[in-house]
A and B are shown apart, each in its own frame.
Chain A
Amino acid sequence: MSLLRLVWVGYVMQVRLRSRSAFDGALSIIWPLFFATTAFLVVRQSGDSDALVATAVGASVMGVWSSTSTTSASSMQQERRLGTLELLVAAPAPFALVMIPLTLAMATIGAYSMAATLIWGRVLFGIDVPIASPAVMAVAVPITVASVGMLGFLLSMASVRYRNAWALGNATEYPIWLICGFLVPLSALPGWVHPISWALAPTWGVEAIRAASTGGSPWPDLARCLALGVAYAAVGAILARVVLRSARQHASLALS
């Protein structure tokens, strides 16, 4: 119970902390819109309305991943600069449970852009994304967002150990869009990429949301997405101990 409370309070504080800058907030919404617009313009040429809907859903999840990947890595550097990373480590709370709320908060803020992208697509491009089952959608979206947050958590561990690993977040942003089939179907990717796609929760999350929108069954995809999210959390928790010990060994928790 107290651990759940720790995660909840950490989550609330991190959302509060990271949603207070109007510039950051606007950027996290506007940034994915440019890419979504490009995708809409390209796919519209095909005249395939189903592909356009699939692209709209994929583009909306892009923002969640962008926010999580770029900020989960850079936020560690920000914590380091603020001098709070050392205080988080010096706290008796398990470090993994300190970090998980942080990346979950990032994914949640990214979810703002999900809504913004869908509205943008509807207003400017007339893409009407159907929601066959709002209840199922209400389950699929949070699970996808949470699983993306866990992938960000895994990524953030590298930034705890290495001061310059924040660049990793930027480096993974676009490849994940592609590999997870946000904008192009997985079948269009080379066969050797598929195992990588399957190991990534966003692949299944976006498929589940598409299924929830068109009336298909999202449950198998959602179960895979959730299982991967839990696996990332477990691996991240183990990694947190290893990484933290290494950071204490190599004195990388502070800026100098």
Chain B
Amino acid sequence: MRDLRRTYVAHTGVLRRSRKLVDAVQGITFDVEAGELFGLLGPNGAGKTTTIKMLITLLLPSGGSARVLGHDVVTDPRAVRRRVGYVFGGDRGLYDRLSAWDNLRYFAELYGVPPREQRARIGELVEKVGLTGRERERVEGFSRGMRQRLHIARGMLHRPDVLFLDEPTIGIDPVGARELRATVAELVAGGTTVVLTTHYMFEADQLCDRIAVIAGGRIVASGTPTELKRLAVGGRVVEIDVFGAADDRLSAVRAVPGVQTVTVEVRGAAQVLAVRTDAADVTPEVLRCLDGLPLGRVANREPTLEDAYIELVGSV
């Protein structure tokens, strides 16, 4: 993908119509290796889904170029479609009034699965995603987790070389999400290339070989999860549970030499301070700033991907 761009045109007004251009993707460049699990991270509206939709030929790029398995997404969309699968999160994307089996049968036909193989392939996938025994039921009675698993089965019907997963675990319970992650890991182990977008940092950390962080339609950083953690944060993080810290106390913490950033998350009555430092241990100085306030847990830890993400996205 080279300098890929996408601009949307939005119209406002009825009598005096005005045209507004929205640059959703502003020159993205990256490569995904065969067999790799590549993650796209970014806040809502960062351009992740737009990028994926251009790669699976649902949107035409406004500029730049992209090739999937050597096929240009603009000039050779049919060839791209034959070899990619697309799964998105949420309740949509299935025919509720049809059974799971009929949904898969219909899409098997649309995706060119040879008729003789369809029955066996659908049976195999139904079993793989844990829907055996429920496949003849209408989808309208399915839970969100079951729908999501059915989505995965649909996306894999034609054995795509590249599978695009757009927030596949959104809204499903932890057990369902874990099973889904296991399925994705299994796919990658089997040689499928996966491009994943997600908001869940631990998911990206656990699954992805490499990650690109997108913000404001641009890639702000890319690398392995470990590289990203180092790139954005470096050093260490001191996490302190404190009660009733006013702004002046927080300013004092920010002013401690070696402190890079301080983020505050309110959890019930407590404030959780995440103090990022440039490697030096500043815990005693920070605690001195909070002297007299009730404290809870004080912990030193390695920076997480979430720390890195917040810093990268926050700096845009």
Contact = CB atoms under 8 A, between A and B. Distances in A.
A87 B111 CA distance: 10
B99 to A, nearest CB: 9
Q: Which of A10, A17, A87 has the most CB of B within 10 A?
A: A87
Contacts of B161: none
7 contacts: A2-B115, A13-B106, A16-B102, A17-B95, A84-B94, A86-B53, A93-B110
A90 B57 contact: yes
Contact of A90 (B60, B86, B96, B105): B86
Interface in B83-109: 86, 88, 90, 92-98, 102, 105-107, 109
Given A10-B106, A82-B94, A90-B58, 11 more contacts: A9-B105, A13-B102, A84-B93, A84-B95, A86-B93, A90-B81, A92-B110, A93-B111, A98-B110, A248-B58, A249-B60
Contacts of B109: 5-6, 9-10, 93
B134 to A, nearest CB: 18
A17 B98 contact: yes
A21 B95 contact: no
Contacts of B102: 13, 16
Contacts of A87: 86, 93, 107, 154
B5 to A, nearest CB: 13
Interface string B250-292: 0000000000000000000000000000000000000000000
Contact of A253 (B8, B58, B106, B111): B58
Interface size band for B:
20 to 34
B59 interface: yes
A66 B20 CA distance: 39
B58 A88 contact: no
A82 to B, nearest CB: 6
A92 B112 contact: yes
Interface in A225-256: 245, 248-251, 253-254
A91 B111 contact: yes
B133 to A, nearest CB: 21
Interface string A132-158: 000000000000000000000000000
Interface in A74-123: 81-84, 86-93, 98
A245 B60 CA distance: 8
B115 A83 contact: no
